[in-house]
Structures are given as structure tokens and as C-alpha cells.
Amino acid sequence: MAVIGAAGRMGSEVCRAVEAAADLDLVGRFDVGDELGDLAGAEVAVDFTVPDATLGNVLHAVERGVHVVVGTTGWSDERLDTVRRALDERPGTGVLIAPNFAIGAVLTMKFAAEAARFYESVEVIELHHPDKVDAPSGTAVRTAELIADARRDAGVPAGPDATATSLAGARGADVDGVPVHAVRLRGLVAHEEVLLGSVGETLTLRHDSYDRVSFMPGVLIGVRAVGERPGLTVGLEHVLDL
Ligand SMILES: NC(=O)C1=CN([C@@H]2O[C@H](COP(=O)(O)OP(=O)(O)OC[C@H]3O[C@@H](n4cnc5c(N)ncnc54)[C@H](OP(=O)(O)O)[C@@H]3O)[C@@H](O)[C@H]2O)C=CC1
Ligand SMILES: O=C(O)C1=N[C@H](C(=O)O)C[C@H](O)C1
């Protein structure tokens, strides 16, 4: 196993988790400025870097037949297609990209998609530490997309909203018709709320990661599974059979 972004908040936690796992060997740690080379001979690389670097790292690994587990956010459909094309040249190699490896966050996305068709209104609030460089979070974007898909499939119209005038940003970002609000606050790690409402009731789904260890079981599940899943998998839910 090799870790790219090994000096970062997540990468260092992944290194600790791999070192504590009896069935995994940490053979390489790479961070900004390091030559990836043959990735120290690793069979699987884990990438927790920055949106601008992750695609290049993934392509580097795939070209060498190294499976990759990616937690870095900021993936567009176009970038995912680039990975798919690279994987076509390397049948047998697997890439797993997941915006969130915390089991509870994956379940929240699933539950939100289940609930979405039953409510008139739905909004997403994500809350993170202030050192995070992207907003809204990859998890919130994915959550909103899953909600929007479910509502489209069920023919649910857009949520009611009489706002006629507002300060820019007051109603959040529009992700596929779902308002997404981002909070940055010292003391937080990674948190998400999905608010659903109809006349006379609301449902609130909330997930809290208080510590980055919360992502490690999911990352290790991904590392152990990725070699058995050739091609591109987007979302840990597929590995968990949800
Ligand atoms: N999927 C999930 O479950 C989770 C995903 N994330 C995502 O993971 C990513 C990383 O988060 P986090 O660990 O908090 O961020 P950090 O900034 O703490 O870590 C990123 C690390 O990558 C390094 N880096 C930057 N560019 C490169 C490069 N080209 N090659 C190798 N290393 C590089 C950075 O170095 P330097 O600081 O010197 O630039 C830094 O050490 C983010 O996109 C975040 O959203 C976070 C938590 C959970
Ligand atoms: O940067 C973070 O911290 C996190 N990033 C991921 C995201 O953008 O969704 C996952 C989690 O929210 C923590």
C-alpha cells in the first residue's frame, strides 16, 4: 500500500490505520513534490490530496496497473470520464472514488435519497473545519445529486420558495435544484444535515464525524475491495452493497 498526500490530515490518519492493520503493508508515503515513480511497488495507492492534483495521481497509478482508492473531492463528470478511458487501457485495474468513507455519511446519503420523494422541501447543510479548501463539500454535492435524482424519478416538483429578493449566497448554492449551504467553523471536523419538510412535519438527518478515525473503516474496506473491482467505482455504497 502507498499513501499519496501522506503528510496531510487524512493521509497521516490513513498511514496510521494501515500500519495498525495486520493484513496490510505500508510501503510508500508520498506528498507534494515527491516523485511517485513506481509507487514503491505498491499494489494499491490511496489518494487524499487536493482537487488539482488527484486526477494526475490517479492516471499515474492506473498507467502502472496500481489500483487506487481516492478520497479527494472535486471530481467532475469530465474528469471521471478521463479515468474511465485510462482504465479501458488497463483492464483488471480498479479505481474507487468516494466523497465520504464514513459509514454514517454513506448511510445518510442513502436515507436522504429514500426520503426525498416524500417531502415538498429539501435542503442540505454541510459544516466543516475552516481549513477545508472546497465548498460545498463533495459529500454535500453528492447528497444533493442523489436527492435530485430520486425526486426527478418520482416526479416531485421543485421545493416551494417565495424568496423574491436576497443577498447573494443567502439561499446557498443550487446543486441540481437542491439548495446546499456551507458552514466553516473552528472546532468542527465534518458534518452534514439534510432537512426535509412538508406541511406539519420535518425530518432531519444528521451525520457527524468528530474525528478523522471515523473515515478509516471505510478506507480500509475500499483498499481491500478495490483489486476485486476492475474499472471505476464511484461511491463506497457500491462496495457496501447498499
Ligand atoms: N472521502 C472522504 O472520506 C474524505 C475526503 N476528504 C478530502 O480529502 C482531501 C484531503 O483532505 P485533508 O487531508 O483534510 O487535506 P490536507 O490539506 O490536510 O492534505 C492534503 C495533502 O496533500 C498534499 N498534496 C498537495 N498536492 C499534492 C500532490 N500533487 N501530490 C502529493 N501530495 C499533495 C498536501 O501538501 P501541502 O499541504 O504541502 O500542499 C497535503 O499534505 C480533500 O479533498 C478533502 O475534501 C477529507 C476527509 C474525508
Ligand atoms: O475536507 C474534509 O474535511 C472533508 N471532505 C470530504 C467532502 O468534501 O465531502 C468528506 C468529509 O466531509 C470531510
Look at residue 112 in the predicted model and tell me its pLDDT: 98
CB of 242 within 6 A of ligand 1: the answer is no
Catalytic residue list contains 128: yes
Mean pLDDT across the chain, nearest whole number? 98
Confidence of residue 127 (pLDDT cuts 50, 70, 90): very high
CB of 143 within 6 A of ligand 2: the answer is no
Residue 180 burial by Cβ neighbours in a 10 Å radius (0-12, 13-18, 19+)? buried
The active-site residue out of 128, 181, 191, 207 is 128
All domains of the chain in start order, with CATH? 2-97+213-239 (3.40.50.720), 103-210 (3.30.360.10)
Give the pairing type, strands 94-97 and 67-70. parallel
Question: pTM for the full model?
Answer: 0.97
pLDDT in tens, 194-226: 999 999 999 999 999 999 999 999 999 999 999
Residue closest by Cα to atom 13 of ligand 2? 190
Look at residue 146 in the predicted model and tell me its pLDDT: 97
Half-sphere exposure of 162 (CA within 13 A, CB side): 0
Look at residue 230 in the predicted model and tell me its pLDDT: 98
In 51-172, DSSP assigns E strands to 67-70, 94-97, 121-128
Look at residue 205 in the predicted model and tell me its pLDDT: 99
Using DSSP's 3-state secondary structure scheme, residue 233 falls into: strand
Using DSSP's 3-state secondary structure scheme, residue 203 falls into: strand
Cell of 36: 511517485
pLDDT in tens, 6-48: 999 999 999 999 999 999 999 999 999 999 999 999 999 999 9
Confidence of residue 142 (pLDDT cuts 50, 70, 90): very high
Rounded Cα gap, residues 22 and 31, in angstroms: 24
Instruction: Give the ligand whose atoms come closest to the C-alpha of residue 71.
Output: 1
ipTM of the complex: 0.99
Would you give the end-to-end CA distance of the chain in angstroms?
A: 26
